[in-house]
Amino acid sequence: MCGVQFNRGRIIVSILFIPIMFIFFFGDNILIAVDQDPYISKISRDYVVWAIPGLYAIIQFDSRKRYL
């Protein structure tokens, strides 16, 4: 039963990560809309987009850590 809960948690976290990725991809537009510098907004979006694979790996690692 623990394995079922573990896999269910991983699937839920993966599904919830999809809308967060869209927020990351359009983060520069969001920052510009709240009157931030466009150049800094683009740089921050690039950083966050490049960090997405690592963030997904950290989320999966945290699920495994809680399972163990």
CB distance 53 to 21 below 8 Å: no
Nearest to 45 by CA among 21, 25, 15: 25
Per domain, the residue ranges of the chain are 2-67
Euclidean distance between CA atoms 40 and 42, whole angstroms: 5
pLDDT of residue 45: 93
Instruction: Label residues 8-42 b or e (16+ Cβ within 10 Å = b).
Output: eeeeeeeeeeeeeeeebeebbeebeeeeeeeeebe
pLDDT of residue 9: 86
pLDDT of residue 66: 82
pLDDT of 67 > 90? The answer is no
Confidence of residue 1 (pLDDT cuts 50, 70, 90): confident
pLDDT digits (tens, 9 = 90+) for 2-55: 888 888 889 998 999 999 999 999 988 999 999 999 999 999 999 999 999 999
